[in-house]
Amino acid sequence: MPLSEHEQKLLEQLEKQLHEDDPKFAHSMGSDPGRSWSTRHVVIGVLCALAGVFLLLVGVTLQNIFVGVLGFVVMGGGVYFATMRSSSGAAKPGSKAGGRKPGKQRSSFMSSLEERWDERRRGEP
């Protein structure tokens, strides 16, 4: 069952709060909203990996160890580059994360959650 739009926003706020409170734990969980897959990195990495495979095959065909090793290194570098994640989302100057005060935002967020929790316990809608 998919989450509603309100639940998705609430989940995103909780994730951001976790990243602010304990960045080491959030990074170890692998859910970093500031880092995302870059299509450009994947395309360039795959092209480099294919070029490395081609060089490796040329090195084997010519029986040249240097060309084969160079092809293997290029192939490995391409795979590494393709699997890298870019952090461009966190460094945008117009994003919400850059211009707010974490203490003030966090307290209002937490107070609104506490108010909603109290309303639920009292049975109010």
Answer whether residue 104 is part of any domain. no
Would you say residue 41 has pLDDT above 60?
A: yes
User: If pLDDT is split at 50, 70 and 90, which confidence band does 93 have?
Assistant: very low
* DSSP string for 5-40: HHHHHHHHHHHHHHHHH-HHHHHHHT--TT-EE-HH
**Residue pLDDT, tens place only, 51-89:** 999 999 999 999 999 999 999 999 999 999 888 876 554
The pTM score is: 0.46
Answer whether residue 69 is part of any domain. yes
Q: Domain limits at 71?
A: 36-86
Question: How many domains does one find in the chain?
Answer: 1
Answer whether residue 65 is part of any domain. yes
Answer whether residue 47 is part of any domain. yes
Answer whether residue 57 is part of any domain. yes
Answer whether residue 105 is part of any domain. no
Answer whether residue 28 is part of any domain. no
Would you say residue 99 has pLDDT above 90?
A: no
Q: For residues 79 and 41, what is the distance between their CA atoms, to the nearest angstrom?
A: 10
Answer whether residue 70 is part of any domain. yes
